Amino acid sequence: MAEAEVLHNIKFTRARGNTDVATPSTDEHIYSNISYSETQRPGSKQPAASNRRSGVTSERVALLVLSVLLAAAVTALGVTLYENTQTKKSLQKLEDVAKHISGILSGTEPCKVEQPCKPPLVRNETCPRCEDGWEPHGGKCYFFSSVKLTWNESRTQCKSMRGDLVVINSREEQRLLESKVREKMDNFEDMFWIGLTDSENEGEWLWVDDTRLDPSLTFWREGEPNNWNVENPDGQDCVRMGEKDGPKNLKTWFDRSCESPQKSICEKPEKP
């Protein structure tokens, strides 16, 4: 228990002129203050500083509890919002898939290039007949490669795309290709390989599908083929085509060494 300091006044008397005997009439009154401590009695008030410390401690505990509860509430709210967002995304994906399938079945949804266009799933030929980068015409898809490769390398490239070097079967097809190539050429030597060669037997021109060249459907430039062997002793056994600024008379075929790097034209059938 706390101790309290008690102050008492004690009076002493001293006789005048006599230090041994003191009388009431001649007493000289002397006062002295004496203080001592006594134990504080039960029920007395505690110091104010102790009360303040207890109040501050209680406030801190309450604030800590509130902070923990608030953090837990925020975490729970975040988890709930995240789960709701994921659920909405999943539902949206399911709706998109359902719409896409419904559109294909009804014939109003365009197909992707990679998807086969087979009736009756697709109506009115809404799907493209050729893949991206290929140009359709007359039931065929044409690819004009800007990469310069040898004749054999060019053919390998076409085959890797499920096609082959182009085989020209009509004047209409020659006219189409001549027009396309003219637009893509940068200069006179910027020509394109086609699928015609006499590498097996000199003078016997064969297409890559093993059909013989039809004499009525030849489009040699004047003076071609000449099998010029100055550049390559093996001569010129492969055919390229192109005319940048010459006359538009369809005569744009030139024989060339098969090892000469050139651009190329690939073809394959349109998708059914």
φ, ψ dihedrals at 58, nearest 5°: -65, -40
Tell whether 226 and 178 lie within a shared domain.
Answer: yes
Q: Enter the DSSP assignment of 220.
A: B
Q: If DSSP codes are grouped into helix, strand and coil, which group holds residue 56?
A: helix
What percent of the chain lies above the pLDDT cut of 90? 47
Tell whether 177 and 238 lie within a shared domain.
Answer: yes
Domain count, the chain: 3
Contact 20, 13 (CB under 8 A): no
Q: Mean pLDDT throughout 71-79?
A: 78
What is the per-residue pLDDT for 96? 62
Tell whether 148 and 98 lie within a shared domain.
Answer: no
Q: Which domain holds residue 31?
A: 3-39
Tell whether 151 and 265 lie within a shared domain.
Answer: yes
Other Cβ atoms less than 10 A from the Cβ of 53: the count is 11
The per-residue pLDDT for range 126-173, each reduced to its tens digit, is 578 899 999 999 999 999 999 999 999 999 999 999 999 999 999 999
Q: If DSSP codes are grouped into helix, strand and coil, which group holds residue 217?
A: helix
Measured distance CA(32)–CA(40) in Å, rounded: 24
Measured distance CA(207)–CA(216) in Å, rounded: 15
Residue 163's alpha-carbon distances to 5, 48, 141, 178, 187, in angstroms, are 113, 98, 9, 20, 27
The per-residue pLDDT for range 226-256, each reduced to its tens digit, is 998 888 888 999 999 999 988 889 999 999 9
Tell whether 224 and 122 lie within a shared domain.
Answer: no
171 falls within a domain: yes
Q: Is the pTM of this model over 0.85?
A: no
